[in-house]
Homo-oligomer: A and B are copies of this chain.
């Protein structure tokens, strides 16, 4: 497919040309200088979901669809999403660029090397590992107990043989034998730090605090004790800049940083979200797994660390998943089953209660499948409306932005209702 020139996409949201650094075809990084050049502040929308099922809920697809729908309504909407890991691409999981007509481009490049951010994290992670083992070996600049090293190695590869390894074999010239492991890069603490860092100084400070092991007397040894942080920052300098790509319909999307949700906070970078808010009217971001784990992490880790706060939540559901939570078997999810759906509403209700507990308004988004019946959809609408929450259908997967207009409208209404300042972090914590 033919994409719009990325410079045009950037111009749409008024990014200065000198801040946009092309990075191969249809990819760019945006200079951190751009943050200082905008005084605007868009409205942040968090897309989360009910708990994931084997059937899939399409959170990323709905995020892209919402951005598309808002753009069709004339808004400068910007998606701010995580970048996918190469490991799972060649392993089990699908790519992380949305699906169908609601996807990001250039999908293949984003799913492979993209702009090299993950490679930079791998390099930084393993440079620290080499410095750690040098310290084990030479006892400088810090003394480490070789049996209590905590820092492992990283590789952006799904490779079972690397989960438990022994390094340093082959005699004194090759180190000291140690049991360790290779984590997939998305599970690296460096990736989590990259996603939280506010600037190069903050990045260096956070890297320096990494706990790499213990001294023989049990005292903690940190990356800063190995004088490691400046070299790591040198390797991560480019990676800290948010990446700009576009939706299939030519709308802007920042795709940046990808810490795994099962071991870290699982959200895109603070800097990409800030950049999107500085240049977009609405910013669509996503938090992993269900609202219970992923969105609470988003609110409790990323938002507390950064001071950001969403204006509202889009909770993605599918009828299939609700029926699954209601006890229907995997083979029967496409068929109507009012009882299972009704039982699944209990699951949905719990998530709506959690959203309300944070003082946030919500829209339920049904990622519509062809087999969904109107009767079932109406039941869902009634259920949520009784709880004061609107439900919007979204056909973004099959129809792109045009199929996402209802969702866009409901979200705009929600945002307009929230005209007061967003609840302060403090009040949400009380």
B90/A231 in contact, CB under 8 A: yes
Interface pick from A125-133, A283-291, A346-354, A377-385: A125-133
Is A410 positioned at the interface, with any CB of B under 8 Å from its CB?
Answer: no
Complex: A157 Cα to B119 Cα, angstroms? 12
> Are B164 and A165 closer than 8 Å at their CB atoms?
no
Contacts of A130 in B (CB 8 A): 90, 157-159, 161
User: Given the known A-B contacts A127-B157, A130-B157, are A112 and B234 also in contact in the complex, defined by CB atoms under 8 Å?
Assistant: yes
Contact assessment for B113 and A113 in the assembled complex, using a CB-CB cutoff below 8 Å: no
Query: A113 vs B23: C-alpha distance in the bound complex, in angstroms?
Result: 13
Q: How far is the CB of A200 from chain B (nearest CB, A)?
A: 14
Classify the secondary structure of A's interface with B.
mixed
Interface size on A, residues (CB 8 A): 57
Cα(A108)–Cα(B178), bound, Å: 33
Q: Are A174 and B161 in contact (CB under 8 A)?
A: yes
A83 CB → nearest B CB, Å:
14
Known A113-B238, A161-B167; contact A86-B123, beta-carbon cutoff 8 A: yes
Alpha-carbon distance A149/B25, docked complex (angstroms): 38
Q: How far is the CA of A129 from the CA of B169 in the complex (A)?
A: 20
Assess whether A338 is interfacial by the CB under 8 Å rule: no
Can you name the residue of chain B whose Cβ is closest to the Cβ of A111? B234
Known pairs A90-B130, A157-B123; A174 contacts B163 (CB<8 A): yes
Q: Is A370 an interface residue when CB atoms closer than 8 A count as contact?
A: no
A21–B116 Cα distance when bound, in Å, is: 16
**Inter-subunit contact A235/B112 (CB<8 Å):** yes
* Nearest residue, chain B, Cβ from A160: B175
A127 to B110, alpha carbons, bound, how many Å?
Answer: 18
Chain B residues in 8 Å Cβ range of A175: 160-161, 163
**A74 contacts the other chain (CB 8 A):** no
Q: Which of chain B's residues have a CB closer than 8 A to the CB of A146?
A: 146, 176
User: Chain B contacts of A159 at CB under 8 A?
Assistant: 126, 129-130, 133
Does A171 have its Cβ within 8 Å of any Cβ on chain B? Answer: yes
Q: How near does chain B come to A418, taking the closest CB pair, in angstroms?
A: 39
Q: Mark A166-191, 1 if CB is under 8 A from B, else 0.
A: 11111111111111000000000000
* Chain B CB within 8 A of A162 CB: yes
Q: Least Cβ distance of A223 to chain B in Å?
A: 14
Residues of chain B lying within 8 A (CB to CB) of residue A133: 159-161
Q: Which residue of B lies closest to A235 (CB)?
A: B112
Residues of B within 8 A of A167 (CB): 161-162, 165
| Cross-chain contact B157 with A161 (CB below 8 angstroms) | no
Given A123-B156, A238-B113, CB of A165 within 8 Å of CB of B163: no
The CA of A238 and the CA of B106, in the complex, are separated in Å by: 13
Can you list 12 pairs linking A and B with CB atoms under 8 Å apart? A23-B24, A113-B116, A113-B119, A126-B159, A129-B159, A137-B161, A146-B146, A160-B168, A160-B173, A161-B176, A163-B174, A165-B165
Q: Assuming A24-B238, A147-B172, what are 20 further A-B pairs, CB within 8 angstroms? A: A22-B23, A90-B130, A112-B234, A116-B119, A123-B156, A129-B159, A130-B158, A133-B159, A137-B161, A146-B176, A153-B162, A160-B175, A161-B167, A161-B174, A161-B175, A161-B178, A164-B168, A165-B165, A165-B169, A166-B177
Residues of A within 8 A of B (CB): 21-25, 29, 86, 90, 108-109, 112-113, 115-116, 119-120, 122-123, 126-127, 129-130, 133, 137, 146-148, 153, 155-179, 231, 234-235, 238
